[in-house]
Amino acid sequence: MDILERLIEIIPANKIFGSGGDYMFLEGVYGAQESVREAIYRVLPKRVADKYFTFGQAIDFAKKILYSNPKRIYLGDRPAKAARVF
């Protein structure tokens, strides 16, 4: 069983992150994103087929774990800004 399948069962969607934002180097972030996106690609269609999620709920879930949850925790109410290059 995929870890994302277990997380969906036991943790509220607003507590799940799929970011890799805790890495110091870009390569780690990229690898974490690839892994999470692959898990989403495998798990969410199964959950829709099993009628655990509707298609719209699955899309909303993916948006939460990839964008809304990390934004809420890391930025709070501040608007997201483009990354600065030093």
Residue 65 pLDDT grade (very low, low, confident, very high; cuts 50, 70, 90): very high
Q: Are residues 27 and 80 in contact, defined by beta-carbon separation less than 8 angstroms?
A: no
Q: Which two three-digit tokens encode residue 9? A: 């069962």
* Positive/negative CA dihedral, 14, 16, 20, 22: positive
Calpha distance 28→56 (Å, rounded):
30
Q: Is 86 helix (H, G, I), strand (E, B) or coil?
A: coil
pLDDT tens-digit series, residues 3-23: 899 999 999 999 998 876 667
pTM: 0.79
